[in-house]
Amino acid sequence: MKCETYQRGIVDLLAAVDETQMPLEIRSHGEVCAVCREFYETQSRLFRSIDGGIRSLVNQAVPSALYSVPAQLPEGAAEHRHLGVPVWAFGIIGAVAAVLALFIGFHRQPQTVAELSSPARVSQDALESADVNKNSRMEPRKPGRAGIVRKPQLNSRPPQGGTAEKPLEVIVLAEEREAFAKFVAAIPSNENVAVALSRPAPSVPGAPVEIALLQVSSMKVDPLEGTPRD
Amino acid sequence: MREMVLVQAERLPEGVASEEDAKSLERGELDQLLAANAPLAYRVAMGVLRNHSEAEDVAQEALFRAFRKSHLLRDGQRFKGWLVRMTFRLALDRRRSSHRRADRETRWAQPELRPPTPSVEEMVAAKQFQERLGRALDELPRHLRLVLILAAMEGYSMAEVAEILRTSTGTVKSRLFKARKCLAEKLR
């Protein structure tokens, strides 16, 4: 056996936790090689010193003050749980709920826009309840529908192949009529134009006015009387 | 897995306790656990810091933290391992900050901190070896160092160390072997 092999084996034997019997080959080499025997003695002392050093380090007398630490701890200083759940968990749950709500809202938005963009619904709803009078288009309507007038001959279709066949109408708030007429007049003769659409004013005061996108395939605009055109 | 309250319930009269009783006993058991494991915390801290006052500070802090965070512990039987890890981390943090402080403050600026001149050669040798051993310990990987410290403690068998660290006895032996071999290489 080479001395190098012997010395490696000796170190492994000494480092091992379990008391393992020295293999015969190693033992016999140690008996004949003085250098390796000396190495073994040195390494044995080293490992004994290591063990002794660590033991003396960690097994020192514990300060008596430490035993009285529990008595010094204030009553009720421990952090509490609510219904078995730590307080910080509520924050995480809230954050996850907020993210989920945002995510769901983001993915539902296109559907909502499509629903709101249906010109047929807007128009029919408005016409049924607005009691439109052809001779007095410019006059405000009865309470609850005041300010809504018909904007004639604006042909449009729903974004995804709506079923409306006859020309549809868009109802514009009275106070926005002039601006809308200008806006429509400025639209180029290009199909697939997106137009902002206001739904009829809600009958309930304070209720929000819905605004959505309207995809218009073609339109014929008749400006209102007295509306200047550029 | 048993709740700490349920562990207490075994000691309660008639097996059932009012909520107030359960709370007070929970606190009582916590106090017992803290007192029983205070030496363990101190020794773990001592194994890392090698300084009495610092180890005492760290052990106190670990015990206080264990008290404050006791609601996080669902299983009272894991208290020992939990406290050991907490103390070990705190001691390592303290050791790092001590090193930084020592770098800032030179010994020349504070002569009173110089080590006393040894009078006996053996004491010098022992002290030098202890310092070298300390440095070698500092250089050990954390998982090896903790095993070495715990295994050197009186009254802790391999199985108990394995239980504290929530690992197997074989893993503890393997880590201990590596740690001792590594230390021997450094100190040779």
At residue B144, does pLDDT exceed 90? yes
* DSSP SS3 for A55: helix
Q: Which residues of A touch B30 (CB under 8 A)?
A: 70, 78
Q: Which residues of A touch B44 (CB under 8 A)?
A: 58
Query: Mean pLDDT, to the nearest integer, of B119-142?
Result: 83
State whether A59 and B64 contact (CB < 8 Å): no
State whether B43 and A73 contact (CB < 8 Å): no
Residue B72's closest chain A neighbor by CA? A86
At residue B76, does pLDDT exceed 50? yes
Top mean pLDDT of A164-178, B17-31, B41-55, B102-116 is at B41-55
Average pLDDT, chain B: 78
- Looking at residue B6, what is its pLDDT? 34
Strands A81-82 and A85-86: antiparallel
CA separation (Å) from B74 to A79, B29, B68?
14, 14, 14
| Measured CA angle at A61 (ends B92, B172), to 5 deg | 50
Query: φ, ψ for residue A191 (rounded to 5)?
Result: -80, 170
At residue B170, does pLDDT exceed 90? yes
Q: Which residues of A touch B134 (CB under 8 A)?
A: 57
Mean pLDDT lowest among B27-41, B58-72, B113-127: B113-127
- Looking at residue B84, what is its pLDDT? 93
pLDDT band, residue B124 (cuts 50/70/90): confident
Contacts of B85 (CB under 8 A, 6+ apart): B146
Q: Which residues of B touch A55 (CB under 8 A)?
A: 152, 154
Which stretches in chain A have pLDDT values below 50? Answer: 111-164, 230
Interface size A-B, in CB pairs within 8 Å, comes to 119
At residue B92, does pLDDT exceed 90? yes
State whether A69 and B152 contact (CB < 8 Å): no
Query: Mean pLDDT, to the nearest integer, of B115-135?
Result: 75
Residue predicted with more confidence, A189 or B17: A189
State whether A81 and B71 contact (CB < 8 Å): yes
CA distance A189 to A218: 8
Mean pLDDT lowest among A32-36, B117-121, B168-172: B117-121
B129 neighbors A49 (Cβ within 8 angstroms): yes
Residue A18's closest chain B neighbor by CA? B173
A164 neighbors A186 (Cβ within 8 angstroms): no
pLDDT band, residue B21 (cuts 50/70/90): very low
Query: Mean pLDDT, to the nearest integer, of B75-81?
Result: 82
